[in-house]
Structure 1
Amino acid sequence: MTSKNIHCWLWLRPEIALVAMLGLYCGQADGAESQALLASGFAPSAELPADAQDLFLDVRLNEVVTGQLAHFRLHEGKLWASPATLRELGLHIAAEAPPVMALDTVAGLLVDYDVARQRLNLQAPVALLDRPTAHLYGQSLLNTAPPEVDAALRGLTLNYNLYGQHSAGQYTLSALQEWRLSGFGPGLWSNSLTSRRTDSGHNGTTHESVRLDSSWFLDFPDSMHSLTVGDSLTGALPWSRSTRIGGIRLNRNFALQPYRVTAPLMLFQGEAALPSTVDLYINGLRQSSQEVQPGQFEISSAPLLNGLGQAQMLITDLSGQQRSVEFSLYGVPRLLQEGMADYSLELGAVRLGYGSESFDYDNDAMLSATWRYGLSNTTTLEAHAEASGDLHLLGGGGNWRLGERGGVLNMALASSSHGSLDGEQMALGYQWNSRFFNASVSSQRRTQGYRDVASLHGGTLSRSSEQLFLGTNTRWGNFGLGYVSQDDFEQRSSRFVNLSWFRSMAGAASLNFSAIMDLDDSNDTTYTLSFMLPLGRKHQMSSSVRQRQGSTQLSTNLSRHTPMDEGGWGWRMEAASGETDTLRAQAEWLGTYGQWVAGFSKQEGGSTASYAGLDGGLLWTGKRAYAMRKVDEAFTLVSTSGIPGVPVKLENRLIGTTDEDGLLL
Structure 2
Amino acid sequence: MSNITYDNRSNLQRFLAGDFYALSGDLGSSLNLGGLSFSKIYKIDPYFINRPLFNFTGLATLPSEVEVYIDGTRIMTEKFSPGQFSLKNLNYYGGARFIEVVVKDAFGRETRYRLPFYFNDILLSKGLHEYSYNIGFIREQFGVRSNDYRNLAFSGFHKYGVSDSFNIGFSAEAKRGTYVIGPQAALLLGRAGTLVLVFSGSHDEDKGGGNAGLLNYGYQGTLFNWRLLLKKYSRHYMTVVSDASTAGTKHEIGAGIGYGTASFGSLSVDYTETKKYEERSTKTYAVTYSRNITQKSTLFSSYKHIREHNNNSDEFFIGLTYYFGGNDITLSTSHQQDREKNTQITQLTKNIPVGEGYGYRLYGDRTESHGTVSNTVNPYFQYNARYGIYTGEYKGTYTNGQNVEAYRFTAAGSIAYTGNTLGFSRPINDSFGVVQTSDLKGVRVYINNEEIGKTNASGKVFVPNLNSYLDNQVSINEKDIPMNYTMTEVIKYVSPPLRSGSYIKFDVTKFYAITGMLHVKVNGEAKPAEFFEVTTKVDDKELTFPTGRGGEFYLENIKPGKYSASFDYKDKKCFFELAIPKSDDVIIDLGVITCKDF
**Which residue identity lines up with residue 115 of structure 2 in the other structure?**
F
Bigger Cα displacement from structure 2, 653-662 vs 573-582: 653-662
CA contact (8 A) 1:347 1:366 kept: yes
Quote how far apart the aligned CAs of 1:464 are.
1.7
CA distance 1:622–1:398, change in 2 (3 Å): same
CA contact (8 A) 1:303 1:333 kept: no
CA contact (8 A) 2:296 2:325 kept: no
Judging by fraction of residues, say which structure has more helix. 1
> In structure 2, the residue corresponding to 1:513 is in which secondary structure?
strand
- Please show how residues 572-587 of structure 1 align to structure 2 within 5 Å: 572-579=361-368, 580-587=374-381
> In structure 2, the residue corresponding to 1:334 is in which secondary structure?
coil
1:535 aligns with one of 324, 327, 343: 324
> In structure 2, the residue corresponding to 1:631 is in which secondary structure?
coil
CA contact (8 A) 1:282 1:309 kept: yes
**Which residue identity lines up with residue 259 of structure 2 in the other structure?**
T
CA contact (8 A) 2:238 2:246 kept: no
The whole-number CA distance in structure 2 between the counterparts of 1:322 and 1:651 is: 42
In the alignment, is residue 600 of structure 1 matched against residue 386 of structure 2? no
TM-score, normalized by length of structure 2?
A: 0.70
- Please show how residues 189-588 of structure 1 align to structure 2 within 5 Å: 213-283=1-71, 287-315=75-103, 325-362=113-150, 364-403=151-190, 405-420=191-206, 421-456=208-243, 460=247, 462-474=249-261, 475-520=263-308, 523-537=312-326, 538-549=328-339, 551-564=341-354, 566-579=355-368, 580-588=374-382
CA contact (8 A) 2:238 2:244 kept: no
Q: Which residue of 2 aligns with 1:28?
A: none
CA contact (8 A) 2:237 2:245 kept: no
> In structure 2, the residue corresponding to 1:469 is in which secondary structure?
strand
Q: Output one character per residue of 1:505-550: Cα deviation in whole Å (capped at 9) or x when no partner.
A: 1233122221111112565111111111212231121211122127
The whole-number CA distance in structure 1 between the counterparts of 2:391 and 2:301 is: 32
Q: Output one character per residue of 1:242-269: Cα deviation in whole Å (capped at 9) or x when no partner.
A: 2011111111121221211111121133
**Which residue identity lines up with residue 473 of structure 1 in the other structure?**
G
Quote how far apart the aligned CAs of 1:413 are.
0.7
CA contact (8 A) 1:386 1:392 kept: yes
Quote how far apart the aligned CAs of 1:378 are.
0.5
Q: Which residue of 2 aligns with 1:26?
A: none
Q: What RMSD, in angstroms, separates the aligned Cα atoms of the two structures?
A: 2.5
CA distance 1:476–1:258, change in 2 (3 Å): closer
CA contact (8 A) 1:303 1:332 kept: no
CA contact (8 A) 2:356 2:453 kept: no
The whole-number CA distance in structure 1 between the counterparts of 2:74 and 2:356 is: 32
Quote how far apart the aligned CAs of 1:597 are.
2.2
Quote how far apart the aligned CAs of 1:441 are.
0.6
CA distance 1:299–1:308, change in 2 (3 Å): same
CA distance 1:629–1:462, change in 2 (3 Å): farther
Quote how far apart the aligned CAs of 1:388 are.
1.1
Larger Rg: 1
Quote how far apart the aligned CAs of 1:293 are.
2.0
Q: Output one character per residue of 1:595-616: Cα deviation in whole Å (capped at 9) or x when no partner.
A: 3222212222231122223333
CA contact (8 A) 2:160 2:168 kept: yes
The whole-number CA distance in structure 1 between the counterparts of 2:269 and 2:25 is: 26
The whole-number CA distance in structure 2 between the counterparts of 1:365 and 1:608 is: 46
> In structure 2, the residue corresponding to 1:448 is in which secondary structure?
coil
The alignment covers a number of residue pairs equal to 450
- Please show how residues 145-224 of structure 1 align to structure 2 within 5 Å: 213-224=1-12
TM-score, normalized by length of structure 1?
A: 0.63
Quote how far apart the aligned CAs of 1:663 are.
2.6
**Which residue identity lines up with residue 470 of structure 1 in the other structure?**
I
Quote how far apart the aligned CAs of 1:630 are.
2.3
CA distance 1:415–1:437, change in 2 (3 Å): same
Q: Which runs of 5+ in 2 are unaligned?
A: 369-373, 463-598
> In structure 1, the residue corresponding to 2:126 is in which secondary structure?
coil
Q: Output one character per residue of 1:140-164: Cα deviation in whole Å (capped at 9) or x when no partner.
A: xxxxxxxxxxxxxxxxxxxxxxxxx
CA contact (8 A) 2:171 2:181 kept: yes
CA distance 1:267–1:528, change in 2 (3 Å): same
The whole-number CA distance in structure 2 between the counterparts of 1:458 and 1:233 is: 22
CA contact (8 A) 2:441 2:455 kept: yes
The whole-number CA distance in structure 2 between the counterparts of 1:276 and 1:660 is: 58
Q: Which residue of 1 aligns with 2:511?
A: none
What stretches of structure 1 move > 6 A for 4+ residues in a row? 319-323
Q: Which runs of 5+ in 1 are unaligned?
A: 1-212
CA contact (8 A) 1:235 1:345 kept: no
CA distance 1:461–1:384, change in 2 (3 Å): farther
The whole-number CA distance in structure 1 between the counterparts of 2:381 and 2:75 is: 40
